[in-house]
Structure 1
Amino acid sequence: MISIHNLSGGYTSSPIINGLDLDILKGEFFALLGKNGSGKTTLFKLVTGQLPIKSGNVLVSGKDIQSLSKLEKAKKMAVLTQEVHVSFDYTVEEIISLGRYPYQRGFFKHMSKKDWKVIEEVMELTNVTDLRKAPFRMISGGEKQRVLLAKALAQEPEILLLDEPTNHLDIKHTFHLLDLLKDRQQMMGLTIFAILHDLNVASLYADRIALLHDGSFLEVGDVDRLRKVDQLKKVYEVKVNSQSHPIVPKPQFLMTPNYAASREFYRFEDSYQLKRSDEYLHVQFDQPLRTISNGVMGAGLQWLKHFCAFHVEKDYDNPSPERDLQNWMEKYSIPYEQAVGMITTAKPVDTVVITETIENIEMMIILTLETGNAVDITKRSGSEADQVISCMNMMLFIDADFTDGALVSGYMSAVEAKTKALQNQPLSDPHSHTVAADTPPDVMVLALTQQGMKISNAGNRTMIGKGMAQLVNRAFKEVLNKHLLKVPQ
């Protein structure tokens, strides 16, 4: 649809764009990325013929852009820029109707029924119908952007060029506009070439991207090219972390500010408060910890400050324990959105709490155990096992800095340590009277202060992994001894 060959050009004798080659396919959403001054808008103006080409050429549907008349270009492509200059006091409807100019015939350029039908459709699509009689100069910046998009769509172009199309838009209208464009791309084969600043938006909506740096392309390809964070740092000069979107199989990006690298270290033993009663256990840290958990609340990878376990009776059978946990936390003024939440039939006052320094790393484990909930999954159906409240809840806090990979391997090490402890001192399933070598409903959280030397692996063969296993085994023995439980032979 658009073919760029060895393109050079700019505003002066020294070209800003230097020998670019690019092919944008019919019906694709292509995003152009780069910092301010990298040449994005210059490339757009070269593509649309607003700036002279120094060398190379731009082909649109196989025809040189310089050979097309203004009317032919207007029927082929529409442009939405950041610049909003309207000299006359036009209404919104009049602005949008200008998009139909390439299709009007006759000396006086009368509007046809089709013209008005298209205008009504695009006003409805861009949610500006109620503004039709409003003076363009009197509406907000976001409303102006939507009006100018409606004008561009009114041209019924094959190609839509967008220079920061979400400029001035709030979140709601940003996603409404981009969803609209994506729908027209997919349903009508519209080709979209957009300059975007937001990497996350580009990743979510674009089919392919180009990363422009000092007038040249560093990357061209699908959005997974954006996972190359070293390239992003080179372009934007900030540290960028890449992660996967939880629902859409696309990368998303987080910027790390400079102040985060210079935060003050704190003493682990002075950084938390522990409360226990017959009803609940609550550990509150002064600073958020990096956590991985399968808690009833706060599951997954999070940054959290509150770690809670609430006591319930053995006949507890609420299909929505999350709501109960939320209500209980609100009762005790615990912000549930910053918490891991667990439920247990064990009394929180009977939990085992151990703090220890292993390999110069401070650790703390909090363990609850209720043998009446132990399960032999080989003797119970899946539904029966799922309905049983957890036998063991474990909170493991470590004063160290783990990568996400170390969080996962450390979590696995803790689970393996728990399984080993159960093998050495097995519990009995009270229903089948067989050994419960595993307790599948158990809940565990591993939480890191993220200070100190970076650790990339906490597997069971590493020193820290072995230290975690020792702590888990010790806590398991102590909780058994504390409750004076009989171990089945």
Structure 2
Amino acid sequence: MIGIKNLTGGYGNKPVIQNVNFSLEKGEFFGLLGPNGSGKTTLFKLITGALPAAGGEITVDGKPLSGFSKLEKARMIAVLTQEAHVSFDFTVEEIVSLGRYAFQKGLFKSLSRQDRKVIDDVMELTGVTKYRDTQFRLISGGEKQRVLLAKALAQEPKIMLLDEPTNHLDVKHSFHMLDLLKEWQREYGLTVFAILHDLNVAALYADRVALLHEGSFLKTGGVDILRDESLLRQVYEVDVKSQPHPYVPKPQLLMTPEEKADPQKDHFSRSYRVRQNEGLIHIEFNDPLRTISNGVTGEGIQWLNHFCNFHVNKNYDGGDPVDDMTNWMANQGIPPEKAAGMMTAVKLEDMVLLEKEYEGIRLLAMVTAGVGNAVDITSEELDSEIGKIGTINIMVFLDSHFTDGALVNACLSATEAKTKALQDLNIKDPYTGTIATGTSTDSLLIGTTQKVERTPYAGSGTVAGKAIGTAVYDAVTGAVRKYEKRQRRS
């Protein structure tokens, strides 16, 4: 729909934009990205005609933009800039009404019934109806931005050109504006070209993006190009980490500050405290650890300080375990937002707490174990009536720096070690009589200090994997033997 060919221009004799080429398809949301000084606003002014081009061509549907009359452009293209300056003291409704000027007929350009309906509709959509009779100069910057969006929508454009459209808007209204633009894009085939300074917003809303670097496009493509961390470092000159959004298949970016190692950091054995009673094992670290877990709370990959293993009655109904555990933590003075939690019906005094060093890797392992509901996961038979005390809860903390992949490796290493311990202990699935691989309610957590040299691997063939495996094997073996000894006494 829009074609840009060899576009060049700037201020004075030195062009800021140099031979830029790209095209926008009908109904596409195109995001222009780049740091300050890269030429984004200059390119925007060239496309809107606010700045004359020194060379190149801009076409709409194959026709040069210069060949359209001002009235034709107004019926086709709406422009929303960062500036919210209005020379005259208009009311909000009068500002929005200006968007209908190109559609008004007759010598005196009066508003028709249809014009008034469009004005009312877009004011309602943008949430500015309540300011209808308020003078534009008296409303806030964010409210002005929404009024100008309403004016642009009142044009019923085919093309929307936006220069940082969420400027002055809070989070709520930023997302409301972008959701509205996406709705118009889908329902009316609106083509959107937007300068966006927030990479995460661009990743969520744009269909394609371009990275502008020193007046030229460094790369253009789908938002997945924002997964290229080296490319982003080149453009923005900061350390950028890309990660997937948890709910939509889009990347999200994290800026990483430069940090220097602290020579006074705690020795690993002095970096944590353990508190234990009949109802709780609480391990607290001075600094947050990078964790991966399937616990009741703190699940997934997190940064956490507090690690809890609560004792529950074997008849605990588990109606809302997350809410229950959050309340238990709060009652113990433990901040739930900084904590991971597990639960077990086994006696906490039978815990095994093992601190060791393996080939230079210091670690701490905590295990509580019951095997009354041990299962063989390879068996197709399922016992839905198992109600005996069980659960193997494993926490492993390492003075290591793991990538996310290494955290997953660590889970595999710990699980393999647990299964080997059960095999050597001859623990069987009481329903099938075959060797058990775990229990039906096992929980696992791996935590790392992230304060030493980074490693991408922690599988069974690595030093880190062996450290985890040997510690988990010994701790599970010891905890199961304590459980069996108690069972024999009862």
TM bracket (short chain): over 0.9
> What CA distance in whole angstroms lies between the structure 2 residues aligned with 1:390 and 1:203?
45
- Equivalence for 2:293: 293
Structure-1-length-normalised TM-score: 0.96
Change (3 A) 1:213 1:79: same
> What CA distance in whole angstroms lies between the structure 2 residues aligned with 1:343 and 1:142?
48
Contact 2:361/2:467 (8 A) holds in 1 = no
Contact 1:242/1:253 (8 A) holds in 2 = yes
Contact 1:281/1:349 (8 A) holds in 2 = no
Greater shift, 434-443 or 123-132, is seen at 434-443
> What CA distance in whole angstroms lies between the structure 1 residues aligned with 2:447 and 2:235?
34
Secondary structure of 2:457 counterpart: coil
- Equivalence for 1:17: 17
Instruction: Tell whether 2:70 aligns with 1:70.
Output: yes
Contact 1:426/1:487 (8 A) holds in 2 = no
Give the Å deviation of 1:440.
Answer: 3.8
Secondary structure of 1:241 counterpart: strand
> What CA distance in whole angstroms lies between the structure 2 residues aligned with 1:389 and 1:6?
73
Task: Tell me the alpha carbon deviations over residues 211-269 of structure 1, each in whole angstroms, 9 at most, x when there is no partner.
Answer: 101110011010001111111111111110000001100000000012x3445533111
- Equivalence for 2:220: 220
> What CA distance in whole angstroms lies between the structure 1 residues aligned with 2:60 and 2:483?
79
Give the Å deviation of 1:347.
Answer: 1.7
- Equivalence for 1:381: 382
Change (3 A) 1:236 1:384: farther
Instruction: Tell whether 2:455 aligns with 1:455.
Output: yes
Contact 2:224/2:250 (8 A) holds in 1 = yes
Give the Å deviation of 1:49.
Answer: 1.3
Secondary structure of 1:15 counterpart: strand
Task: Tell me the alpha carbon deviations over residues 170-226 of structure 1, each in whole angstroms, 9 at most, x when there is no partner.
Answer: 111111111110000001100000000000000000000001011100110100011
> What CA distance in whole angstroms lies between the structure 2 residues aligned with 1:98 and 1:389?
73
- Equivalence for 2:183: 183
Change (3 A) 1:128 1:249: same
Q: What letter is aligned with 1:158?
A: K
Return 5+ residue gaps in structure 1 as ranges.
none
- Equivalence for 1:439: 439
Contact 1:17/1:43 (8 A) holds in 2 = yes
Contact 2:285/2:306 (8 A) holds in 1 = yes
Q: What letter is aligned with 2:226?
A: L
- Equivalence for 1:129: 129
Greater shift, 102-111 or 292-301, is seen at 102-111
- Equivalence for 1:40: 40
Change (3 A) 1:48 1:414: same
Task: Tell me the alpha carbon deviations over residues 399-437 of structure 1, each in whole angstroms, 9 at most, x when there is no partner.
Answer: 011111111111111111111111111223455555423
Instruction: Tell whether 2:115 aligns with 1:106.
Output: no
Give the Å deviation of 1:453.
Answer: 1.1
Change (3 A) 1:35 1:224: same
> What CA distance in whole angstroms lies between the structure 1 residues aligned with 2:8 and 2:390?
66
Q: What letter is aligned with 1:175?
A: F
Secondary structure of 2:23 counterpart: strand
- Equivalence for 1:87: 87
> What CA distance in whole angstroms lies between the structure 2 residues aligned with 1:90 and 1:389?
74
Correspondences of 1:444-483 after superposition (within 5 Å)? 444-483=444-483
Contact 1:426/1:437 (8 A) holds in 2 = no
Contact 1:90/1:136 (8 A) holds in 2 = yes
Greater shift, 104-113 or 196-205, is seen at 104-113
Correspondences of 1:290-439 after superposition (within 5 Å)? 290-377=290-377, 378=379, 380-381=381-382, 391-430=391-430, 434-439=434-439
Task: Tell me the alpha carbon deviations over residues 256-292 of structure 1, each in whole angstroms, 9 at most, x when there is no partner.
Answer: 012x344553311111111000001111111000001
Give the Å deviation of 1:467.
Answer: 1.8
Return 5+ residue gaps in structure 2 as ranges.
none
Q: What letter is aligned with 2:218?
A: L
Task: Tell me the alpha carbon deviations over residues 58-77 of structure 1, each in whole angstroms, 9 at most, x when there is no partner.
Answer: 00121111222221111110
Give the Å deviation of 1:324.
Answer: 1.1
Contact 1:425/1:487 (8 A) holds in 2 = no
- Equivalence for 2:154: 154
> What CA distance in whole angstroms lies between the structure 1 residues aligned with 2:287 and 2:486?
40
Structure-2-length-normalised TM-score: 0.96
> What CA distance in whole angstroms lies between the structure 2 residues aligned with 1:57 and 1:437?
68
Give the Å deviation of 1:320.
Answer: 1.7
- Equivalence for 1:145: 145
Contact 2:314/2:388 (8 A) holds in 1 = no
Give the Å deviation of 1:29.
Answer: 0.5
Secondary structure of 2:266 counterpart: coil
Give the Å deviation of 1:390.
Answer: 5.1
Secondary structure of 2:51 counterpart: coil
> What CA distance in whole angstroms lies between the structure 1 residues aligned with 2:347 and 2:487?
20
Contact 1:49/1:65 (8 A) holds in 2 = no
> What CA distance in whole angstroms lies between the structure 1 residues aligned with 2:483 and 2:26?
71
- Equivalence for 2:172: 172
Greater shift, 476-485 or 98-107, is seen at 476-485
> What CA distance in whole angstroms lies between the structure 1 residues aligned with 2:185 and 2:243?
27
Greater shift, 475-484 or 346-355, is seen at 475-484
Give the Å deviation of 1:486.
Answer: 9.3
> What CA distance in whole angstroms lies between the structure 1 residues aligned with 2:184 and 2:336?
41
Give the Å deviation of 1:477.
Answer: 2.4
Greater shift, 209-218 or 312-321, is seen at 312-321
Secondary structure of 1:96 counterpart: helix
Task: Tell me the alpha carbon deviations over residues 35-64 of structure 1, each in whole angstroms, 9 at most, x when there is no partner.
Answer: 111111111111111111111100012111
Q: What letter is aligned with 1:305?
A: N
Greater shift, 155-164 or 68-77, is seen at 68-77
Instruction: Give the alignment's Cα RMSD to 1 decimal.
Output: 1.8
Give the Å deviation of 1:372.
Answer: 2.0
Secondary structure of 1:73 counterpart: helix
> What CA distance in whole angstroms lies between the structure 2 residues aligned with 1:123 and 1:414?
58
Contact 2:423/2:435 (8 A) holds in 1 = no
